[in-house]
A and B are shown apart, each in its own frame.
Chain A
Amino acid sequence: MPELFGIPITGANIAFFVLALIILLSGVTVLMMDKLMHMAVALGGVFLGVAGIFILLGADFVGIVQIMIYAGAITILMVFALMLTQNGDETRTAQPHPTRTWLTLIFTVVFVGIIVIVLRSVQWPVSQNAIEPFTQPTVNLIAQALYHTYMIPFELVSLLLTAALVGAVLIARKEEE
């Protein structure tokens, strides 16, 4: 099999790098744009790319949910919220000190370098008895995990969402007095 930098060139790998590129470019676009509306649309690109990664990993149900909820509902919700509330949607960002920019760059390069070196050097553990790719639909497996194994964290997430919802209303509402 042909290799490039030690990575075999397969369909899955090409798809991964294309998706990764989409996610990274969309992410950078979110940061570079001046208008909030453009940021919201670029964020949709990130969500779509992540959905592609999920599908690539065999988690097709999570991938489709990701498209429906994140790329669909949440992006649209943000666009609506911006259209209903924003008067001038220009954001202004203070230019950080150049020293800080350089320091950030150096630390980021070192951090990413360490992670890449570690991940490339690892022989990942592979299960001895080869797992058949999903004997049942992933929806069943997810339901099993959510409502049996991870019942308690699932219930805790409902507390978390309630607290976040109340908190968002509290912070966003008008002052009573």
Chain B
Amino acid sequence: MSTSFLSFQTLWSLMGPELVLAIAAFIIMLYELIVTGDAKKAVAPWLSVIASIGALIFAMSRIGTTVTTGVSVAVVDDFGSIFAILLLISTILVLLFAIAMKKRQSLPYEYSYLVLFATVGAMVLATATDLITLYVGLELLSITTYVLVALYRKSPRSSEGGLKYLIMGSIASATILYGMSFLFGISGSTDLSTITVVMQTSFTNFPGLAYLSLALIVVGIGVKISAVPFHLWTADVYEGAPTPVTAYLAVVSKAAVFALLIRLTYMAFGAEVHMWYGVIGWIAVITMIVGNFGALAQKNVKRLLAYSSIGNAGYMLIPFAVSGLVKTTSSFTQGLSSLLFYLFAYAFMTIGAFAIYAVVASHEQSDEVDAFAGLYKRNPWLAGTMALFLLALAGMPLTGGFVGKLMIFIAAFNAGQYWLGVVLFATSVVAFYYYFSILRAMFMTEPKSDSKSMHTPAVMHIVIVLCAVGILWLGIFPTTLSGVLGNLHWFA
């Protein structure tokens, strides 16, 4: 490995958006040290939003550019850039969501820079090409989110969720690290491109080690993206965490670990991908089934959305599972495009649904589906947008959720894996059923007699409008995003 000296110039060209966020996080820390009183509680989160928007513009400007330098721990390629854009858009929405909730469920304002640290970790997972850097990025994301989950200290559930997430997440990280150590043992390098070359022959030379390494990495990542059978922590942690943090876990954490899964497994184990795609396919199938059927039994809306996010992880595993089978590069990138398109749609609909849930639940002091009773009569705007997000999650046409599922469906069919497409379709029908329980409560039951009209914070309207416009835009004009995705040069 070349050890050229790392100048700031090189660092800036490699990790510009990450640097913007990291520097902003330290400036906000200094700001809260100098300024006292209520001003900092109001201003600090907005500074984070501004920093994230700056980083987003930077990341967007890098689409189409490729930078590889002598410093081989990270690259700039379109795979990393598009994931960075997705992560930053979601982070901005979550930050706005948290600002909107400050009167109802106030978080210590330190969350504003903790979220930035976590997002730096998430973006590193998408850009790094080195085992050590990937692992540090993963831990930066994980450890910061353990804290974020336990932030709402008045609630014992939040502490319980934080502790569960800490224990499960640490075991998962250790499992991934153990798997990575075998890769290092075989190749003698932490650099992924060197590992790619060595692993071309390693499945014949060291079959036991290669499969053991793959199994450990897939299990560890399975815990992080809450794939079945590694999903048992999900509902408790999502329920205990403050709702903006739940949205962050469901969208940013999950998307970042998907980026890790794709880059790490393709580069390290891509040579024998046809040998192991079937296992991922089966994980996808049981994840879709358990996630969607598990949601049927839930009365608590947050747990219902948690199970729905498990089911969604199953959908997102399909393009990854089938991409090992495709013969041509174009259908491989088509699989990646379908995953990214679905992730964008998933970000908008999930954050939107959690935002409206947070307004309703904090107003009614109840997490149950009953809290939504008669919402249409009390606040038709919230009821209408919630219906939009739920229908998008279920896969209703004219929403981004439908187009995303259709693209995944086509990717499965192109690879000849009809069974995955069929399970995707069947479990989506089940999903309609449990989302319908919330829709029925909103539109077909009478509000409780003592219900007052519901006040929504102004910032929350911004979040809801942004998510609603995003999800409708992706549904009605899908080519604006899929066109961009189709022209990407994914890997450097």
Is the CB–CB distance between B132 and A164 below 8 Å?
A: no
| Cross-chain contact of A125 among B5, B121, B147, B188 (Cβ < 8 A) | B188
Q: Does B27 contact A (CB under 8 A)?
A: no
Segment among A6-14, A97-105, A115-123 that sits at the interface with chain B: A115-123
Beyond A127-B188, A166-B110, A170-B108, whether A156 also contacts B140 by CB under 8 A is yes
Query: Chain A 37-55 against B: per-residue CB contact (8 Å), 1 yes, 0 no?
Result: 0000000000000000000
Is the CB–CB distance between B208 and A122 below 8 Å?
A: yes
The number of residues on chain A lying at the interface, defined by a beta carbon within 8 Å of a beta carbon of chain B, is 30
| Cross-chain contact of B143 among A118, A167, A175 (Cβ < 8 A) | A167
Is the CB–CB distance between B185 and A124 below 8 Å?
A: yes
Complex contacts, B326 vs chain A, CB 8 Å: none
Beyond A149-B3, A167-B146, whether A156 also contacts B124 by CB under 8 A is yes
Complex-state Cα separation, A122 to B206, whole angstroms: 7
Q: Does B22 contact A (CB under 8 A)?
A: yes
Closest to A168 in B: B147
Complex contacts, A152 vs chain B, CB 8 Å: 6, 11, 14-15, 71, 73-74, 128, 133
Give the distance to chain A from B410, nearest Cβ to Cβ, in Å.
38
Closest to A156 in B: B136
Query: Chain A 159-172 against B: per-residue CB contact (8 Å), 1 yes, 0 no?
Result: 11011101110110
Closest to B187 in A: A125
Complex-state Cα separation, A103 to B22, whole angstroms: 45
Q: Does A28 contact B (CB under 8 A)?
A: no
Complex contacts, A153 vs chain B, CB 8 Å: 73, 130, 132-133, 136
Give the distance to chain B from A149, nearest Cβ to Cβ, in Å.
5
Give the distance to chain A from B213, nearest Cβ to Cβ, in Å.
10
Is the CB–CB distance between B151 and A163 below 8 Å?
A: no
Give the distance to chain B from A9, nearest Cβ to Cβ, in Å.
24
Complex contacts, A157 vs chain B, CB 8 Å: 136
Query: Chain B 297-316 against A: per-residue CB contact (8 Å), 1 yes, 0 no?
Result: 00000000000000000000
Q: Does A114 contact B (CB under 8 A)?
A: yes
Complex-state Cα separation, A153 to B186, whole angstroms: 22
Is the CB–CB distance between A150 and B212 below 8 Å?
A: no
Complex contacts, A144 vs chain B, CB 8 Å: 3
Q: Does A21 contact B (CB under 8 A)?
A: no
Q: Does B103 contact A (CB under 8 A)?
A: no
Interface on chain B toward A: helix, strand, loop, or mixed SS?
Answer: helix
Q: Does B120 contact A (CB under 8 A)?
A: yes
Complex-state Cα separation, A121 to B209, whole angstroms: 9
Is the CB–CB distance between A167 and B133 below 8 Å?
A: no
Is the CB–CB distance between A118 and B136 below 8 Å?
A: no
| Cross-chain contact of A160 among B1, B73, B143, B153 (Cβ < 8 A) | B143
Q: Does B137 contact A (CB under 8 A)?
A: yes
Q: Does B455 contact A (CB under 8 A)?
A: no
Is the CB–CB distance between B11 and A159 below 8 Å?
A: no
Complex contacts, B185 vs chain A, CB 8 Å: 124
Is the CB–CB distance between B147 and A163 below 8 Å?
A: yes
Q: Does A92 contact B (CB under 8 A)?
A: no
Mind listing 6 A-B residue pairs with CB under 8 Å? A152-B14, A162-B29, A162-B117, A167-B143, A168-B147, A175-B154
Chain B positions within 8 Å of A, measured between CB atoms, are: 1, 3-6, 11, 14-15, 22, 25-26, 29, 71, 73-74, 108, 110, 113-114, 117-118, 120-121, 124, 128, 130, 132-133, 136-137, 139-140, 143-144, 146-147, 150-151, 153-154, 162, 185-186, 188, 205-206, 208-209, 212
The 3 A-B pairs with the shortest beta carbon distances in the complex, nearest first, are: A167-B147, A118-B208, A148-B3
